[in-house]
Amino acid sequence: TAPVFEIENLHVRFKMEGGGEIAALDGISFAIAPGETVGIVGESGSGKTQTFLAAMGLLARNGRASGHVRFAGTEILGLPPAELNRLRGARFAMVFQDPMTSLNPFLTVERQLTEVLVTHRGFDGAQARKAAIAMLERVQIPEPERRIGMYPFEFSGGMRQRVMIAMALLCGPEFLIADEPTTALDVTIQAQILTLLAELKRDSGMALALITHDLGVVAGLCDRVLVLYAGRIVEEAPVHELFRDPRHPYSAGLLASVPRADPAADDADEPPLIAIPGQPPNLQHLPSGCAFRTRCPHAFERCVRETPPLRAVGPGRTKACHLEVSPAEAERRP
């Protein structure tokens, strides 16, 4: 099937105030099939958010994107804002970590939800209100008929995120981008929101890109994972394969810092959680060769000289690393 969303050789550069430029994305390519859920994982500075901001025409003013971004086969990179707005909200939508960046604090939820339906669907006021209440019910907001008249600040953090998701889904988009949608929430609410996203996705058949720094979040929800580091894809794999056998040392490091999903497991048998040493990448001062080499336990001489290209290492799997074997295998070798 043709992809619903496709990025080809996307570069993003930012002009710095003091002069010079930094490359936030350095030629990434991937595609998402209809109905597929793809996790986009990496620390801050990896480029995971900039990828989608560039695609949605939402880059900061000093940013410049080049390459191709296609939605349902149509090039959308560089589309005039009015045309992009017509698609955004109607056929694809984005949910952010902080709903207050997208919800207007001075307007009631009713006003904000109905406006979307009036603008994109041509509903009249009564139709829009009915559909908005139904959607609030769908995202499990209690007493939606009463609460629709409230302002965003009158909702708890978790409820606000549900309102945001309701707003994103109002027009039945084919593709939803969720950027750290649960990071600001406590663990119980996080789990509820992720379950809700999984249900909504299953019922609607839309494709989902889930952007997160936390591999644990993608475990139960995603089909496939892309791991980004310093503006490049360093590994791509079906989710269960990545968890079973990460091929890139950075992915292996991220996985080692994921808490066990099963809290009943005997802790004494578990290896301790290991955080990846060093700082997330500083794009202004990347090392030569492999950008991860100053933090990589397997770095060797070639890593200083050559940037590893992304290459196939199995069906549906790629990695950008000079190691011929997986990090686990490299550790077993003398």
CB of 72 to ligand SF4, least distance (A): 35
CB of 263 to ligand SF4, least distance (A): 32
Candidate list 228, 251, 321, 326; residue touching ligand SF4; CB under 6 A: 321
Our CB check for ligand SF4 shows the closer of 237 and 290 to be 290
Our CB check for ligand SF4 shows the closer of 13 and 322 to be 322
User: What distance in Å separates the CA atoms of residue 313 and residue 106, rounded to the nearest whole number?
Assistant: 52
CB of 299 to ligand SF4, least distance (A): 4
Our CB check for ligand SF4 shows the closer of 117 and 215 to be 215
Q: Are 250 and 64 in contact (CB under 8 A)?
A: no
Residues 93-152 that bind ligand SF4 (CB under 6 A): none
Site track for ligand SF4 across 211-250, x = CB under 6 A: --------------------------------------x-
Rg from Cα positions in the chain: 21
Q: Are 183 and 212 in contact (CB under 8 A)?
A: yes
Q: Does the protein bind ligand SF4 through residue 323 (CB under 6 A)?
A: yes
Our CB check for ligand SF4 shows the closer of 176 and 296 to be 296
Our CB check for ligand SF4 shows the closer of 220 and 314 to be 314
User: What distance in Å separates the CA atoms of residue 291 and residue 206, rounded to the nearest whole number?
Assistant: 35
Q: Which stretch binds ligand SF4 (CB under 6 A): 172-180, 200-208, 220-228, 315-323?
A: 315-323
Our CB check for ligand SF4 shows the closer of 197 and 299 to be 299
Q: Does the protein bind ligand SF4 through residue 255 (CB under 6 A)?
A: no
User: What distance in Å separates the CA atoms of residue 307 and residue 322, rounded to the nearest whole number?
Assistant: 9
CB of 314 to ligand SF4, least distance (A): 17
Our CB check for ligand SF4 shows the closer of 283 and 323 to be 323
User: What distance in Å separates the CA atoms of residue 145 and residue 270, rounded to the nearest whole number?
Assistant: 48
CB of 233 to ligand SF4, least distance (A): 13
Of 276, 271, 161, 169, the residue nearest 229 (C-alpha): 276
Our CB check for ligand SF4 shows the closer of 6 and 26 to be 26
CB of 282 to ligand SF4, least distance (A): 16
Q: Are 43 and 213 in contact (CB under 8 A)?
A: yes
> Residues binding ligand SF4: what is the number (CB under 6 A)?
12
Site track for ligand SF4 across 280-299, x = CB under 6 A: ----------x-xx--x-xx
Q: Which stretch binds ligand SF4 (CB under 6 A): 107-115, 182-190, 220-228, 317-325?
A: 317-325
Q: Does the protein bind ligand SF4 through residue 303 (CB under 6 A)?
A: yes
Which residues would be at the binding site for ligand SF4 (CB under 6 A)? 249, 290, 292-293, 296, 298-299, 303, 308, 321-323
